[in-house]
Amino acid sequence: MGRTAGLSVFFAFRDSSERRAALVHPPGGPERYRLSGLDELVRRGARARHNLERPGPPPPWSRAVSGVLNGLLYRAGGYGGDFASVLASLRRVNAADVVFSTVDTVGIPLVLLRRAGLVRPPIVYAAIGLPERLVQLRGRRMRRLYANALRGAHAIVAYAESEADWLRSWLAPDAPPVVFVPFGVDAVAFRPEPGREPEVDVVSIGADPRRDFELLEAVASRQSELTFRIVASAERARSLVALPANVSVETDIPLEQVRDRLAAARVVALPVLDNSYSGATTVLLQAMAMAKPVVVSRTDAIARGYELEDGVNCRLVPPGDAEALERAVVELLADAGAAVILGTRARETIERSFSWERYTDALWRILSGVTR
């Protein structure tokens, strides 16, 4: 390991029930996949701490300070985040060699606190929808504050080439390294299940707000002989009202059940609203690893960098185009041979280029670079 042996990494996670559940699972379980490579870095010799070590919510004092800071930022035209769990972990943060911010919810507080001199270690910032947040900033003063705070990061990681390009342009001329790192999937945990009988025609899974489940609903209403299953967050599911009888909904299921729902589908459909960062990338790669035929919206997030070819290893459709989505889904359901070929090539794409090992290797190179 050389000088990187014993590297101390502080992981900053979004405080969610899914993340906390993953942390109590033993290493090797599918839920640990939600931890952004923490286990893999530990196996390389890193020492890892994180902001969710406290079993309950952050202490009252940090929540109170977080409320004040967020209030000040929003009134001034800025954008806030989870200052509470970051402030409560400040001693552990400053004891680390490097901080890995896995999501903007904690990344924005971290870079602002580093700008204020309260966070000392280098920060590797994973941007997941950062452009959508930055365009909400009001006024030149706020834009300058956030630009300078982000320029203080050791590196910014983006999971979409389009997002990396946007951030380089917005932070120029003094941008830190903005690195496009394709996301990966555990191709052992998510693998084909030959002989598994499908239980539903079309499955769509996703928790982020960019999922266009309403588009799928429109398709389902016209294809009443087909069965559809939507897996979403409870919050997102509440917005799905008056669904057709052939659509079922599940909410907030464990990752092991997500894998089961993918295995039970004839086709995986992932309609996404047009945006710079979300192409349903995680579920897309999981479904491809399971050799499923996938129909996905061609958003900027996946248009480049993920080796997707329409009709070769997936079906790509324009965002918001219900007719194109319907046509691709129906064609795959009608031609089982073509669906099998598409799924087989999808699996080959994952094995060649998008394994979890490749993702964590790239992450390790960036994090361990702070010692060089």
Residues 6+ apart with CB under 8 A from 170: 131, 134, 147
Residue 100's DSSP bridge partners are 11, 124
pLDDT tens-digit series, residues 161-189: 999 999 999 999 899 999 999 999 999 99
DSSP string spanning 201-226? EEEEE--STTB-HHHHHHHHHH-TTS
Task: Provide the pLDDT for residue 334.
Answer: 97
Residue 198 has pLDDT above 70, yes or no: yes
What is the per-residue pLDDT across 4-16, written as a single tens digit (0 to 9) for each?
A: 568 999 999 999 9
More confident: 316 or 372: 316
pTM of the full structure: 0.92
Domains defined along the chain, listed by start: 2-184+356-371 (3.40.50.2000), 200-353 (3.40.50.2000)
Lowest model confidence (mean pLDDT) among 55-59, 94-98, 202-206: 55-59
pLDDT at position 14: 94
Predicted confidence (pLDDT) at residue 100 exceeds the cutoff of 80 = yes
Place of tokens 């070929």: 341
Predicted pLDDT of residue 195: 86
CA distance linking residue 68 with residue 65, whole number of Å: 5
Greater pLDDT, 281 or 1:
281
Q: Do 304 and 298 meet the contact criterion of CB atoms below 8 Å apart?
A: no
Q: What does pLDDT average to over the chain?
A: 94
Residue with tokens 């918001």: 320
**Helical H runs in the chain?**
17-24, 38-43, 60-75, 83-88, 90-95, 104-115, 130-134, 140-151, 161-171, 213-222, 234-237, 255-263, 281-289, 300-303, 322-334, 336-353, 356-368
- Cα 11 to Cα 35: distance, rounded to the nearest angstrom: 9
The pLDDT tens digits of the residues spanning 229-255 come to 999 999 889 989 889 999 999 998 999
Q: Answer yes or no: is pLDDT of 1 > 50.
A: no
Cα distance between residue 367 and residue 177, in whole Å: 12
Q: With 80 as the cut, is the pLDDT of residue 146 above it?
A: yes
pLDDT of residue 324: 97
- pLDDT of amino acid 5: 60
